[in-house]
Structure 1
Amino acid sequence: MRILLVEDEPRMAAALRAGLEIKHGMVMDHVTTMADAEMVAGNPGYDAILLDRQLPDGDGIQLVPRLRGRGVTLPIIVITAKGEVPDRIAGLEIGADDYLAKPFVFDELLARLRAVMRRPNDLRPNRMVVGRLAFDQAARDMLVGDTPLDLTRREFLVLECLMRRAGRMVPRAVLMEAVFGFDDEIQSNALDSHISRLRRKLEAEEARVVINVVRGLGYLLREAP
């Protein structure tokens, strides 16, 4: 899961990065202004936006209709110190999916984030299965049979991206966007190293899946013959 955070307060941004990336294995890109957010929000690969209101270049909720007008349908959660009822109503009526007042408990933010990801029109199955490998989207678990697969955060993100597109070639650029934030320092062979370790773990656990390389283009996950 890849999140775009629009927040100009360094301590809040650092706390959210620690919670979402380190503790829950998500990728988070961080910008501090509406202008920067508008530039990157339309990029493929984001699953949701966390948006502060009090930004250096204006009220963050004004970004919502601008993004919606460009066809950006990502779930948007406004996180702000402006938590009075009229403020919450204004945020929701302008097109945000949820509104959370600061200070908040991190677990509540996480629950709300998961809730907006479960839209009624999202027809994806909650549990994806290829061979003996299963991805439980709600619990965010990778299982072989009933046994959790021991993965690093990056390995999980690679496998999640491949599972969501099982049977189809996933371009390298899509995998890189799913796994690495734009502030990460990335070595040229980083993705290939993660794929190599994943193959070994899946084979050791007899997951009955293979990750094929499509030379020069990307990777494909499929059930083993």
Structure 2
Amino acid sequence: MSGVRVLVVDDEPQILRVLRPALTACGYEVLEAGTGRDALRLIAASAPDVVVLDLGLPDMDGKDVLREARSFSKVPIIILSARDREAEKIAALDLGADDYVEKPFGIGELMARLRAGLRHAGQSAEEVTRIDREGLCIDLVKHSVMKNGVMLKLTPKQYDLLTMLARHAGRLLTHRQILTAVWGPAHQNDMQYLRVFVGQLRAKIEDDPSSPRLILTEPGAGYRFADADQSSGAEL
């Protein structure tokens, strides 16, 4: 990870004392900001590769930082916050956050989320034509899906749902984001509708649909397609 710059936006000294050596040991260059205004200045001037952003900042709410940052930057932004309310998570993700990690947190989990964010940013810069995971092969050119060498029959909506999740592997997508993208704005609140489709899709692509390893549930928030750093998840 030599040369990769991580901007940590947090006004808690103890968080910085933990993150700075952990990130440095992984080869990241660490930038720091204790306020929202400093964070926006560094995002604009220093072009970090990924941002770790707390929501509780002394001068402005982290969601406002996120909103302003998204007006001029596509940098991956990982929220790291003690706010664990479902509404806070969904609001941050809908504003453009790439992921949400709750405090207290595990360093290993945060590092995995950072790697996923960086990979997604890299993939966005080049065309992805094929996705392979756990014996599943999605050919985005041929619009085909195979599991352990066997061609799967998916409906058009099942295929659209699968490819949306897979293109954002490792990233948490909210129910609303998925429903709006796959079915349109009129269906953005049809949570049960989405659960049914996810269940149908899991039945076709998972080795054990009762213990999914590909489409992972983030309770109360949405779904995440497993990347190389993830191997198991909650049920519907």
The TM-score, its normalising length taken from structure 2, stands at: 0.50
Runs of 4+ residues deviating >6 angstroms? none
- Give the aligned partner of residue 18 of structure 1: 21
In structure 1, the residue matched to 2:29 is 27
**How far has the Cα of 1:85 moved from its partner?**
1.3
Higher-strand-fraction structure = 1
Q: 2:43 aligns with which of 41, 44, 54?
A: 41
Cα deviation for residue 121 of structure 1 reads: 1.6
Cα deviation per residue 1:151-202 (whole Å; 9 max; x = unaligned)?
xxxxxxxxxxxxxxxxxxxxxxxxxxxxxxxxxxxxxxxxxxxxxxxxxxxx
Q: Which of 36, 40, 52 is the equivalent residue of 1:50? A: 52
Q: Which amino acid aligns with 2:73?
A: V
**Inter-partner Cα distance in structure 2 for 1:5 and 1:92:** 18
Q: 1:55 to 1:124 in 2, by over 3 A?
A: same
Counterpart Cα distance in 2 of 1:124 and 1:46: 22
Where does residue 103 of structure 1 map in the other structure?
104
Deviation of 1:88 (Å): 0.7
Q: Aligned to 2:6, what secondary structure does the other structure show? A: strand
Aligned to 2:75: 74
CA distance in 2, matches of 1:93, 1:18: 31
Aligned length: 123
SS at match of 2:7: strand
| Partner SS, residue 5 of structure 1 | strand
Counterpart CA distance in 1 for 2:46 and 2:12 is: 26
Gapped runs of 5+ residues in structure 1?
A: 126-225
- 2: CA distance, partners of 1:24 / 1:59: 29
Using the alignment, how far apart are the partners of 1:24 and 1:124 within structure 2?
Answer: 28
Contact preservation (8 Å) 1:83, 1:100 = no
Give how far 1:43 is off.
Answer: 2.4
| CA apart distance, 1:124 | 8.8
| CA RMSD between the two structures | 1.6
The structural deviation recorded for 1:14 is 1.1
1:62 counterpart residue number: 64
Greater RCO, CA 8 A, separation 6+: 1
Q: For 1:58 and 1:112, how far apart are their aligned partners in 2?
A: 25
Q: How far apart are the structure 1 equivalents of 2:27 and 2:17?
A: 15
TM-score by length of 1: 0.52
Letter in 2 for 1:79: L
The unaligned stretches of length 5 or more in structure 2 are 129-236
CA distance in 2, matches of 1:28, 1:2: 6
- Asked if the contact 1:8–1:55 (Cα under 8 Å) also holds between the matched residues in 2, the reply is yes
> Which amino acid counterpart does residue 117 of structure 2 have in structure 1?
V
% identical equivalent positions: 37
What letter is aligned with 2:28? M
- Cα distance, 1:44 vs structure 2: 4.4
Rounded to whole Å, the distance in 2 between the matches of 1:100 and 1:62 is 18
